[in-house]
Amino acid sequence: MTTTATNGVDLEHRIRQLLEDARRAGRRPPGRPTLRKETGATEHQIRQILDRLENTTATARRTLAPASRQPATNTTTAPPPEPGTGEPGDPPPPEPATGPAAADNTGANDPPPSRQPDNPASHEPPAPPSPTTSTSDPGEHQPTTAPTGGRLVAWTGFIFGSLVSIAANVLAAWLPPPSANADWTPTLAAQIGAAVWPTALLLSVEVLARVRWPRGWAWILARYGGVGIVALGSAVISYGHIHDLLAAWGYSVLAASVGPLVVDGLMVISGFALLAPTGGRAGDPARPPAASTAPERSPA
């Protein structure tokens, strides 16, 4: 039989509503004195209804025990009352029902879940890494910027050395032999032949420096053996022609000895200088680009 309050409202429903309101407001459950004051019921009636609610909650908990393994619903439970703050004679607060009835009571008054606004920072592209400043040892050698106009100077020295070497060898062909007559002149073949040696020296240096030689001992022997012999023979003959020309012009023995080295050496060093900006021969091992040691910034 259901006990009713003095105002005609079902007493059990009234007590359940008071407990539910306290749970929603986050307050501790009201005790028996408060329930008597709110409902006008007697102490005996309040105690019977609280015992019945506690038994109903325990039965529903045992019945729905397997359902506890399902994902928990987003329900708010009232915090337990602090020790020493309850009213005298209050029973332990009954646990909220987890059955369909409790779901009906809670679902009707719960506010809808608020939608979190999208975070605009999550759609932004990652920030670029900040430039890092490299620190180096003060005693370490720092590379300097290459001066401009180097190739122009190298071409000038190469062309000038080649022309001077060929002209000196051709002029050496005009030196009369000791038994020559007063009207002696060199033949065209002698003049062309005199220009062959510096030209051969020039071409041998260019072949040695500019051809992309494959790897291997045979190619190394061909490069420095065959081409080196041609360059060495041409240099010796060209050196003799320029030496004789300088001696005939009245240069000293020392000047006539080092003069050919200056002319042919200028031609050789300028030819190699023209290759310096291009990175050298293909036979040389390629150097990988230097890896940056600056730490990378992870995207935001």
Provide the 10 A C-beta neighbour count for residue 81: 16
pLDDT at position 176:
85
Residue of 281, 277, 265, 279 lying closest to 158 (CA atoms):
265
What is the Cα–Cα distance from 26 to 92, expressed in whole angstroms? 16
Mean pLDDT, all residues of the chain: 71
Q: pTM of the entire structure?
A: 0.41
User: Which backbone phi and psi does 58 adopt, to 5 degrees?
Assistant: -65, -40
260: CB partners within 8 A, 6+ apart: 168, 238, 239, 241, 242, 243, 246
User: Which backbone phi and psi does 10 adopt, to 5 degrees?
Assistant: -55, 125
Q: What are the tens digits of pLDDT across the range 44-88?
A: 888 888 888 888 888 877 777 655 555 555 545 555 555 544 555
Residue 151 pLDDT greater than 90, yes or no: no
What residue ranges do the domains of the chain occupy?
Answer: 11-66+80-104, 150-278
What is the Cα–Cα distance from 151 to 277, expressed in whole angstroms? 8
DSSP letter string over 89-108?
TPPPPPPPP-SHHHHHHHHH
Buried-exposed string 223-258: b where 16+ CB fall within 10 A, e elsewhere: beeebeebbeebbebbbebbbbbbbeeeeeeeebee
- Residue 40 falls in which region: left (phi positive, over 0), alpha (psi -120 to 50) or beta: left
Task: Using the structure block, give the residue that is written with the tokens 């300097």.
Answer: 144
Averaged pLDDT, 167-175: 88
28: CB partners within 8 A, 6+ apart: 22, 78, 79, 80, 81, 82, 85, 86, 93
Residue of 121, 94, 111, 124 lying closest to 19 (CA atoms):
94
Q: Which of 124-128, 155-159, 284-288 bottoms out in mean pLDDT, i.e. has the lowest?
A: 284-288
Q: What are the tens digits of pLDDT across the range 79-105?
A: 555 554 455 555 555 555 554 444 444
Beta bridge partners of 10: 4
